[in-house]
Amino acid sequence: MAPVLIWIPLVGLLTGLGSIEAQQTTLHPLVGRVFVHTLNHETFQHLPEHVAVPPTVPITYHAHLQGHPDLPRWLRYTQRSPHHPGFLYGTPTPEDRGRQVIEVIAYNRDSFNITQQRLVLLTGNPEGPLLPYQAEFLVCSHDVEEVLPSAPASRFLTALRGLWEPGELQLLNITSALDRGGRVPLPIEGRKEGVYIKVGSASPFSTCLKMVASPDSHARCAQGQPPLLSCYDTLAPHFRVDWCNVSLVDKSVPEPADELPTPGDGILEHDPFFCPPTEAAARDFLTDALVTLLVPLLLALLLALLLAYIMCCRREGRLKRDLATSDIQMVHHCTIHGNTQELRHMAASRQVPRPLSTLPMFNVRTGERLPPQVDGAQVPLILDQH
Ligand SMILES: *[C@@H]1O[C@H](CO)[C@@H](O)[C@H](O)[C@H]1NC(C)=O
Ligand SMILES: *[C@@H]1O[C@H](CO)[C@@H](O)[C@H](O)[C@H]1NC(C)=O
């Protein structure tokens, strides 16, 4: 009985884990063309436990490049709210060619179940003619999520065809105006964030488009006047385009290639016979090091010896000095010396009476002395006789 009781939750756990096992989808984005992948209840059919989830269930998604925390640079993710679908969109550049695996985790916000999906993106070059004529429009009447689904995007292209020379139009890039420095609009009915849509074609621009993007038109915009829109705005009722922000790129004229660096100072002439050394010969730095260290050391030692010789061996000495001094000077010196000695000797033994002249105060005539307790400093040196 006991093993069965243990088995039931274990089986439940295993089937639960099984639902996390990733589904895999392969997609083929094209370099330079907009790529949109919708994440919704249909693309995550078995969320979470092999039962289709009703579309009212809120779901959020998290997408990242396999083995990395975030998406590749060219790919963006957006979702308005858990009740709306999520979108992975962007335009791959030539560097993004190849295989990229995006892992998407969907969270059921009601049951807190999760499921994972793996998107294998095989990015390749687009076929067909080049699209040298490219134009970018700022559509003010839409948020980015509203033009990412294929229906509004193709409606935009169809409407735009009326402003272009006949030919196929392709969506090249879609960016939210918020990602280009736009502001979140006030929560007023009808205000949208705006979205930049870039379109390319093999056929040239119409004169109408050229006029709208002309410098004259921009000058009028700068003064707050409407731009020069000479044709009928076929986008008008559905898409409100900011005609002041149309930019045209004509890549049919090849851009001048970057100039090669001209050889000047510091650039060697090209020499076909020059063969650069492949290996540098080993160099011995021992002698250099020894010379650098020993020469100053020896010099310092020499100077020290010279100084020692001058200080110790070149001393005059007392005898030599006495011999060089005249006798009279010597006698004079000896007398002073002797007297000093004597005075010092006398000062050491105070038994002898002090000479009168050294006493603090005495009367010149009577020899009378002041009582010794008087402080000499406050008594006048010579007493008045009266
Ligand atoms: C698409 O537009 C965004 C925003 O302007 C830009 O950063 C990105 O480089 C564009 N992609 C391509 C392939 O031009
Ligand atoms: C439109 O373009 C001009 C420059 O051409 C820029 O100054 C202005 O901010 C743009 N408007 C919007 C809403 O992006």
pTM above the 0.85 mark?
A: no
Distances (CA, A) of 344 to 131, 333, 340, 341, 348: 119, 16, 6, 5, 6
For ligand 2, the distance from its centroid to the CA atom of residue 179, given in whole angstroms, is 14
**Domain presence at residue 347:** no
The whole-number average pLDDT for the span 244-270 is 74
- Is it the case that residue 342 has pLDDT exceeding 80? yes
CA dist 172 and 93 (Å) reads: 11
Number of domains the chain is built from:
2
**Domain presence at residue 236:** yes
CA dist 49 and 114 (Å) reads: 9
- Two structure tokens written together for 57: 């269930």
Ligand 2 nearest-atom number relative to CA 180: 14
Mutate to test the pocket of ligand 2, among 214, 244, 248 (most ligand atoms within 8 A of CB): 244
Ligand 2 nearest-atom number relative to CA 218: 5
Share of the chain above pLDDT 70, in %: 79
> Is 151 found in the same domain as 73?
no
Tens digit of each residue's pLDDT (9 = 90 or more) over 79-92: 989 888 999 999 99
CATH number at residue 15: 2.60.40.10
For ligand 2, the distance from its centroid to the CA atom of residue 158, given in whole angstroms, is 25
370: helix, strand or coil: coil
Which of 94, 125, 156 terminates a domain? The answer is 125
Residue nearest to atom 10 of ligand 2 (CA): 245
Strand partners for 68? none
In short, whether 175's Cβ falls inside 6 Å of ligand 2 is: no
Share of the chain above pLDDT 90, in %: 23
> Is 56 found in the same domain as 155?
no
The whole-number average pLDDT for the span 147-158 is 88
pLDDT at 16: 43
Could you give phi then psi for residue 66, rounded to 5 degrees? -55, 130
Give Dmax over CA atoms of the chain in angstroms.
147
Helix or strand holding residue 291 (H, E): helix 286-308
- Two structure tokens written together for 285: 């730095």
Tens digit of each residue's pLDDT (9 = 90 or more) over 284-297: 899 999 999 999 99
Tens digit of each residue's pLDDT (9 = 90 or more) over 19-52: 455 678 899 999 989 999 998 877 776 555 556 6
> Is 84 found in the same domain as 57?
yes
CA dist 243 and 210 (Å) reads: 12
Cis preceding-peptide flag for 48 (omega within 30 of 0): yes
pLDDT at 297: 96
CATH number at residue 214: 3.30.70
Q: Which of 12-16, 248-252, 293-297 has the lowest mean pLDDT?
A: 12-16
Q: Average pLDDT of the chain?
A: 81
Tell me the residue type at 71. Answer: L
CA dist 234 and 340 (Å) reads: 127
For ligand 1, the distance from its centroid to the CA atom of residue 107, given in whole angstroms, is 30
**Domain presence at residue 302:** no
- Is it the case that residue 72 has pLDDT exceeding 90? yes
Structural domain harbouring 108 = 9-125
In short, whether 245's Cβ falls inside 6 Å of ligand 2 is: yes
CA dist 226 and 244 (Å) reads: 8
Tens digit of each residue's pLDDT (9 = 90 or more) over 199-208: 998 888 888 8
